[in-house]
Amino acid sequence: MNLFEIIQFLIEQLVFDYTVRTVALGCAVLGIVSGALGSFAVLRRQSLLGDAMSHAALPGIVIAFMLTRSKSSLVLMLGAGIAGILGTLLFIAIVRQSRIKEDSGLGIILSVFFGFGLMLLTFLQRDPDSRQAGLNSYLFGQAATLLVSDVITMALFGGVALLILGLFWKEFKLLSFDRDFGASLGFPMQWLDILLTTLLVVAIVIGLQAVGVVLMSAMIVAPAASARQWTDRLSLMVVLAAFFGALAGMGGAALSSLGDGLSTGPVIVLCISAIALFSILFAPNRGLIWRWVRRGRNRRRLRVGAVLGDLRTLALQHDDPHHAHSIEVLRAMSLGRGGVEASLKVAQGRGWVTEVTPGEWALTDAGILETERFVSADLGVTTA
Amino acid sequence: MSAAAEIQLIAIAVAIACALPGVFLVLRQMAMMSDAISHTVLLGIVIAFLLIGSLDSPLLILGAASMGVFTVALVELLNRTQLVKQDAAIGLVFPALFSLAVILISRYARGVHLDVDAVLLGELAFAPFDRVTVLGIDVARGLATMGVILAVNIILITLFYKELKLATFDVGLAAALGFSPALIHYGLMAVVSVTVVGAFDAVGSILVVALVVTPAATAYLLTDKLKRMLVLAMTIGALSAISGYWLARVLDANIAGSIATMTGVIFGLVFLFAPDRGMLSLALRRLRQKWEFAQTALVIHLSNHEGKPSWEHERRVEHLSEHVHWEHDFAENVVQRAQQNGLISRRGNELSLTDAGRLRAQEALVA
Amino acid sequence: MTKPYAVEVNDLTLAYHEKPVLWDIDLVVPEGVLMAIVGPNGAGKTTLIKSILGLLSPAAGRVSIYGKPYEEQRHLVSYVPQRGSVDWDFPTNVLDVVMMGRYGRLGWFRRKKSHDHDLAMDALRKVGMEKYADRQISQLSGGQQQRTFLARALVQDAQVYFMDEPFQGVDATTERAIVTLLQQLRSAGKTVIAVHHDLQTVPEYFDWVMLLNVRRIASGPVAETFTEENLRSAYGGRVAFLSHAANGHVETTIVSD
């Protein structure tokens, strides 16, 4: 199959294949919700809290199953959510009440909760009933097991979370940007903090079944980090993050339906990571490529300016602004800045200098004007 | 040696080997880096395996360890672009590399003994079946590997103790004295990476984090001295390993999960009951200090107004609840305590400072 | 009855982890003054402002604004936090930050209207930032960031302004602009209370001063209060005086802090 055929096949699958469509829809929902809420987590420097929360959810899932013997995703999600919130509260208590710093607190919660979950999981697995419950799929996610009813549950929870996000939009913005100022206005920042953190737990819980506890944090961080590169507006960032999340979710779901043995979770994470990499490199203004181009252009401009300045300094010694000098002298004056010849060529192209005789250069009238402008703009480049 | 004894020995070696660099990670506030590294070394293992075609080569450890260091470098590179913050950089890098590893395994390395569950969960229970002969002695491979890694860690940390200490507590001074902080940093990260790779087989990737971070953090609650913290962290790690093993045995559950659980249990106990920084002693101290503090506040309040026109008004007990914003009962209680301690005297509702009270107020304000 | 003080603090005591940071602070600030709070590092200057604003809960004491408890008078108060306390890489622009000053008036769930927009633009004009309304905040200089914060405070249309180090790390132009702004506020009958670091400029910029070092050393009009004796008791040996009594000012230099 060539690339075109693959894409065609993928689209056909997405449109016509019932299972793939369900899975893709589910992954899109999770991408939207985690992208939108992840934006706030990333801006509040809570990227790794998402990681800790999703790991902390594992024992909740197992205990929920142990208590109810139900495989319904609603029940398991509830257990995951409670454990996630419990883990977060413990994390806050540890960091607030003791000298233990955030990073260690997160590490403790993440690893101990997850270890406890694994212990329970393996304890359960002696019992054949539980083995079939597919609890294992929560480790790496098994989007293929998503049913329509699961997707509806996800959409419902996600919809409510997004609705609340919209309702408290300006309060959440205040919380994320300037908490103290918000408190001085009389908003109950503590409660808003708890509310927003709970919404983040909802976003994580929604994704667990498809992406798994191990990789869920990527769905919180990567869409937001990608979106941030494209815009300087919070509202647009949230929308873009949701879009990227959905794109990765659907794309990942479709791609993983291609080959056997491709878990959905890792494929979705690779998709969103690719989007993040692309954004960091190519996003206009902020992107690295842009920055390099801009920096290169600046450096070239400075070099040309420096050579012009040197020519002027030399010419002034002869009381003749058009006095020509050899490129060797200019090289010596450039103090290892390099690129003298290239700079002269650029300046020649703009009509600022002429090569009077081979290797001998002089300023033109336009060049003299340009030099004045340059020197007054940036005194640093005139060599004394 | 019995299988049970061997498993416990491996677990102890892993725990101690992890605790040593863990102390420095916790102190340098880079604990979550161990989470990142413990995931990405898998990619190193897979790539090395695909290149070499064998799971037994020591080159595998090398490949994995360099992936660990590469992860740290990548996070720092991303962070330095200032396009994403440090925490987001970690959160971007390791899931991506880990996902890549998982996919590579499922595509190209299936059927080989390199399955993802084992990497994540570890299977300590089977460790005694995989044997090697070292110096003519037949031991479990895991024990040999971890023994070597543990020895290397101990030697390195002893050799570079001074440098590590300095670079941890005073980066500026370390640099000024000519130790390269970057070199120490990456050296430490290399140690973490190698340890993580070795621990992989035994406890799996995520539980490495439990053994690196939790005992060290627990020790941090117990002492201020670096040497003592190292010893405590190793001891707590070893205790978790042994108790975790027996817990797993009783429940017939995953050993690594049980060990991680035990690190958490020990942490919880210390967090609550540690002599100086535990929640219990903190609460008791706060309760005691609350009354001391309130009495001091009272004498300072009185001494601030003594001899001023407001004095007759401010010295009255009923004023305390009104102006100082104390509940009536609380104010009465504070007055009584202060009276008992000879800080104030009381006639009717009027309070006066004693000399001891004046002294206390002065001392509090100077301090 | 006489007009109530703009700010009245009674017996305010506050502790962090049972370590006292402020001991029994009494303070009255009359309406229409520009007051500097000065004191050495760790004296509790920021803490005092934050506890007056209810951002920290004191162990004892009470605060009133125009004679009533702070909670009832919140709409009369505006707060300018330290510039460094927020992430200036946050995805938002200058106008949007200024608009946050209207959030208190807007209340829950309500969105900003064009009226709020006009007020925000007015405030930006007053600090000379109207050209930067659409500028992403990460591209601002330190002085421009401070002006943005001041505009956000202006748009609150308060009576009492609390500012935490408004002159910290700003350029000379901005410093002059802020001084002018403060004087305009005073002429309009507003009260400004600012944490201030530079002792030299106190007599020039402010007319009231409070010297603080865990307890209140002194407060009142600068001419009476900003004395060598009071400064010594606030700063201990950590301040050295190069004082000339020229035109009634005490010229001071902090040698070490």
Tell me, what's the ipTM? 0.88
Q: What pLDDT is recorded for position B114?
A: 59
Report the relative pairing of strands C191-195 and C7-16 from DSSP bridges. Answer: unpaired
By the CB < 8 Å criterion, does C24 face chain B? yes
Q: How many CB atoms lie within 10 A of CB B258?
A: 29
C-alpha distance across the termini of chain C, in Å: 43
d(CA B349, CA C18): 29
The CA-CA-CA angle for residues A80, B218, B92, to 5°, reads 50
Tens of pLDDT, residues A309-365: 888 888 777 777 777 778 777 777 776 666 787 888 888 888 888 888 887 888 888
Tens of pLDDT, residues B145-179: 889 999 999 999 999 898 888 888 877 777 777 77
Domain A3-265's class?
mainly alpha
> Would you say the CATH fold of A290-379 matches that of A3-265?
no
Q: What is the pTM of this model?
A: 0.86
The two tokens of residue A169 are: 């939009």
Half-sphere exposure of B5 (CA within 13 A, CB side): 3
d(CA A199, CA A165): 8
Q: What is the mean pLDDT of residues A195-203?
A: 94
On whether both B221 and B119 belong to a single domain, the answer is yes
By the CB < 8 Å criterion, does A220 face chain B? yes
Neighbour-count burial of C134, counting CB atoms closer than 10 A to its CB (0-12 exposed, 13-18 middle, 19+ buried): exposed
Residue that has been written with the tokens 């010594």 in this structure: C232
Q: How many CB atoms lie within 10 A of CB A27?
A: 34
On whether both B161 and B212 belong to a single domain, the answer is yes
Q: What is the mean pLDDT of residues A144-151?
A: 84
Q: What pLDDT is recorded for position C255?
A: 45
Q: What is the mean pLDDT of residues C14-36?
A: 83
Q: What pLDDT is recorded for position C246?
A: 43
The sign of the CA dihedral B21, B26, B28, B32 is: positive
Residues of chain A with C-beta less than 8 angstroms from the C-beta of C77: 184
Count of positions (residues) in chain C: 257
Among B247, C29, C104, which Cα is nearest to A115's?
B247
Asked if the Cβ–Cβ distance from A232 to C91 is below 8 Å, we say yes
On whether both B81 and B95 belong to a single domain, the answer is yes
Domain ranges of chain A: 3-265, 290-379
On whether both B113 and B199 belong to a single domain, the answer is yes
Helix (H) or strand (E) holding C210: strand C208-213
Share of chain C above pLDDT 70, in %: 89
By the CB < 8 Å criterion, does B301 face chain C? yes
SS3 C64: strand
Q: What pLDDT is recorded for position B16?
A: 95
The domain that holds B345 is classified in CATH as: 1.10.10.10
Among B61, B58, B2, B7, which Cα is nearest to B202's?
B7
Domain A290-379's class?
mainly alpha
Tell me which of B239, B260, B276 is where a domain ends.
B276
Question: Is residue A16's pLDDT more than 80?
Answer: no
Residue type, B177: L
Q: How far is B71 from chain A (nearest CA, A)?
A: 15
Q: How far is B311 from chain A (nearest CA, A)?
A: 34
Q: Identify the contact set of chain A against chain C, taking CB-CB distances under 8 A.
A: 43, 167-168, 170-171, 173-174, 176-178, 180-187, 228, 231-234, 236-237
Asked if the Cβ–Cβ distance from A45 to B87 is below 8 Å, we say yes
Least CB–CB distance from A108: residue in B39, B81, B267 = B267
Q: Is B29 left (phi over 0), alpha (psi -120 to 50) or beta?
A: left
On whether both B260 and B287 belong to a single domain, the answer is no
Query: Which residues of chain B are modeled with pLDDT < 70?
Result: 1, 110-118, 201, 323-324, 366-367
Q: What is the mean pLDDT of residues A289-317?
A: 83
Residues of chain B with C-beta less than 8 angstroms from the C-beta of C25: none
On whether both B181 and B286 belong to a single domain, the answer is no
Domain that holds residue B111: 3-276
Tell me which of B241, B276, B311 is where a domain ends.
B276
d(CA B228, CA B221): 12
Half-sphere exposure of C181 (CA within 13 A, CB side): 25
Half-sphere exposure of A19 (CA within 13 A, CB side): 7
On whether both B354 and B209 belong to a single domain, the answer is no
Asked if the Cβ–Cβ distance from B263 to A112 is below 8 Å, we say yes
The domain that holds B113 is classified in CATH as: 1.10.3470.10
On whether both B223 and B318 belong to a single domain, the answer is no
- Do residues A174 and A181 touch, judged by C-beta distance below 8 A? yes
Q: DSSP character for C101? A: G
By the CB < 8 Å criterion, does B364 face chain C? yes
Asked if the Cβ–Cβ distance from C90 to A176 is below 8 Å, we say yes
Question: What is the Cα Rg of chain A in Å?
Answer: 30
Helix (H) or strand (E) holding A382: none
SS3 C60: strand
On whether both B270 and B152 belong to a single domain, the answer is yes
On whether both B269 and B284 belong to a single domain, the answer is no
Optimal mutation site among A39, A46, A103, interface B, most CBs of chain B within 10 A: A103
Q: What pLDDT is recorded for position A7?
A: 74
Residue type, A252: G
Q: Who contacts C169 (Cβ-Cβ below 8 Å, separation ≥6)?
A: C83, C142
Q: What pLDDT is recorded for position A227?
A: 96
SS (H, E, C) chain B: CCHHHHHHHHHHHHHHHHHHHHHHHHHCCCHHHHHHHHHHHHHHHHHHHHHHCCCCCCHHHHHHHHHHHHHHHHHHHHHHCCCCCHHHHHHHHHHHHHHHHHHHHHHHCCCCCCCHHHHHHCCHHHHHHCEEEECCEEEEHHHHHHHHHHHHHHHHHHHCHHHHHHHHHCHHHHHHCCCCHHHHHHHHHHHHHHHHHHHHHHHCHHHHHHHHHHHHHHHHCCCCCHHHHHHHHHHHHHHHHHHHHHHHHHHCCCHHHHHHHHHHHHHHHHHHHCCCCCHHHHHHHHHHHHHHHHHHHHHHHHHHHCCCCCHHHHCEHHHHHHHHCCCHHHHHHHHHHHHHCCCEEEECCEEEECHHHHHHHHHHHHC
Q: Which contacts of C221-226 are long-range, i.e. CB under 8 A and separated by 24 or more positions? A: C223/C248, C226/C202, C226/C250
Tell me which of B257, B276, B295 is where a domain ends.
B276
Q: What total of structural domains would you count in chain B?
A: 2
Residues of chain A with C-beta less than 8 angstroms from the C-beta of C100: 170, 173-174, 177-178, 181
